[in-house]
Amino acid sequence: MINRIRDIRKAKGMTLAELAEACTPPTTPQTIGRLETGMRNLSIKWMERIAGALEVDPQSLVRSDETPQAMVVAQLSAGGADALPSPREAVLPTELANAEGEASAHMVLAVEESVGEFRPGDMLWLEQLAPSDAATAINRDCLIPKPGGRFAFGRLIDRKGTLVGLLPPGAGQKQQVVDNPPWIAVAQMLVRPL
């Protein structure tokens, strides 16, 4: 078994000291480092403590040697694609938490027909937010539930009181307004088959 503590910790932007402090009860950065490198055995008790601090499922901290794992090998910038000094394991969005370190509910919107910049086969990963956090989603693509089991999707352009305004992605479509949605799901990642 290979442990993924370091990859998940780095994906969440945490240092060894921050992860050690977030454990219940707190531990030392050296202990976390030894667990990450395999210098110390990762027991079930440690898996539960570290998973709790990282807010992931304990089983996501390890994977089988036989299971191929997706790797991040390059990064894209204005100058083009550059190789990373050393590849790192890719962490699925469901294993990540929001900026406040809290576990967030993710959902996926599947695109069936071309609409605006979206193509058939696209999978849009969304993070569910409370309506009170709508300001963080302004000018971002969002999915919002409407009464009767329907949804509105588009660029969040306005929030007044309980009303939320979306600009749909299709050309010539009118603004949609949803009153008092129970949640707002903001787009986090687009997965597009090539």
**Quick one: fold of 106-191?**
Umud Fragment, subunit A (2.10.109)
> Which CATH architecture fits 2-89?
Orthogonal Bundle (1.10)
The pLDDT of residue 194 is above 70: yes
Cα gap 47→5, rounded to integer Å: 9
pLDDT of residue 188: 85
| pTM metric for this prediction | 0.54
Is residue 91 pLDDT above 70, yes or no? no
| Alpha helix positions (H), the chain | 5-11, 16-22, 29-37, 44-54
Q: What is the largest CA-CA distance in the chain?
A: 60
Sorted by where each begins, the domain ranges of the chain are 2-89, 106-191
Confidence of residue 126 (pLDDT cuts 50, 70, 90): confident
Residues in the chain: 194
Dihedral sign for Cα atoms in the order 120, 121, 127, 130: positive
Q: Residue 99 — pLDDT band, cuts 50, 70, 90?
A: very low
pLDDT at 67 over 50: yes
Q: What is the pLDDT of residue 52?
A: 92
